[in-house]
Amino acid sequence: MTLSPAALLSELEPTAARLVERHLGSSKEWFPHELVPWSRGRDFDPERPWQPDDADVGDEPLSDEVRSALFVNLLTEDNLPYYFDDIDRVFGRDSTYGYWTRRWTAEEGRHSVAIRDYLTVSRAIDPWELERARMVQVTGANTPKPTTPQVGFCYLSIQELATRVSHLNTGKLLGDQAGYNVMSRVAFDENLHFMFYRDMVGASLEADPSGTVIALEEVVRLFAMPGLGIPGFDRHAQLIARAGIYDLVSHHDRIVQPLVHNSWKIPELTGLDADAEKARDALLVRVEKLGRMARRLAERRGDKPDGLA
């Protein structure tokens, strides 16, 4: 028998409080306006459409792959504060959980401010297309809608780590120090968010191992990046994967396999009920299958560009 949502959240609240204090102690105050190269900015002419060669991002032309990554990364950050509704509903707005949700939302909103300001002054992507896509993305209310706290903790762990990898790799391929500084600053925050949720999953596995394993299997099986509602997402995702910014290799090698085997040590868990044992078996088979697919992909294309996570 797994714990009810209320019972689980009550039992984990001291852990959540400790992790929030750790987060506040590890996070650093920063200001988007200090990272953005404002001197590059100039007025936009509504009568003159944006052109790719307008980009001011260093000596080399910006590739379609990096431009797609910037587009998706920003729109993902724009939509993450909309997750407030789901997180608030599942975790509750009182006590530690409510404070964390509001703090997380404020930090995610700062990410979109920093990236958008950089993209605006650097003209890296079409600002008209970007704003139209933002309206579609946020209006579409495309969020994961977790059904239990266990599902929420597991999904957000994977999502935050995946976002960190994507932001950092995008910055590395930008060829512009200012752009790299923005993306790496955001990635640092995402790593702190990831650490909070990763350790909440660890605590949940101790309090309710069967319910958490069942939730994790569901999340890994159904996981989709939070950019799904973005116009043209499939095309952008293909370009992003082609550059090695985020692909099946990243998803397995940097996200799923380390979490399942190293962080949460799922194969070593004991005391699971029959349903959780089946879920664990299915999860481990899926991770192994993802690994085989990732290796075949890596062999076909060769190694990723140097320095990518």
Summarised one tens digit per residue, pLDDT across range 138-170 is: 888 777 778 899 999 999 999 999 999 999 999
User: How far apart are alpha carbons 278 and 72 in whole angstroms?
Assistant: 36
Domain ranges of the chain: 51-301
Give residue-wise pLDDT tens across range 65-101. 999 999 999 999 988 777 777 788 888 887 899 999 9
User: How far apart are alpha carbons 55 and 58 in whole angstroms?
Assistant: 9
Q: Taking 70 as the threshold, does the pLDDT of residue 5 lie above it?
A: yes
CB 162, CB 225: distance < 8 Å: yes
Q: Which residue has the tokens 């003209």?
A: 123
Report which of 147, 159, 64, 75 is spatially closest to residue 111, judged by C-alpha positions: 75
Cβ atoms within 10 Å, residue 29:
4
Residue 308 banded pLDDT, cuts 50, 70, 90: confident
Residue 32 banded pLDDT, cuts 50, 70, 90: very high
Residue 228 banded pLDDT, cuts 50, 70, 90: confident
Question: Residue 303's pLDDT is what?
Answer: 64
Q: Taking 90 as the threshold, does the pLDDT of residue 284 lie above it?
A: yes
Give residue-wise pLDDT tens across range 22-31. 999 999 999 9
Question: Residue 304's pLDDT is what?
Answer: 62
CB 124, CB 55: distance < 8 Å: yes
Assess if CATH 3.10.20.90 describes domain 51-301: no
Question: Residue 201's pLDDT is what?
Answer: 98
Residue 64 banded pLDDT, cuts 50, 70, 90: very high
The DSSP output letter for 147 is: S
Weakest-pLDDT range from 56-70, 138-152, 170-184, 254-268: 138-152
**Dihedral sign, Cα of residue 247, residue 253, residue 254, residue 259:** positive
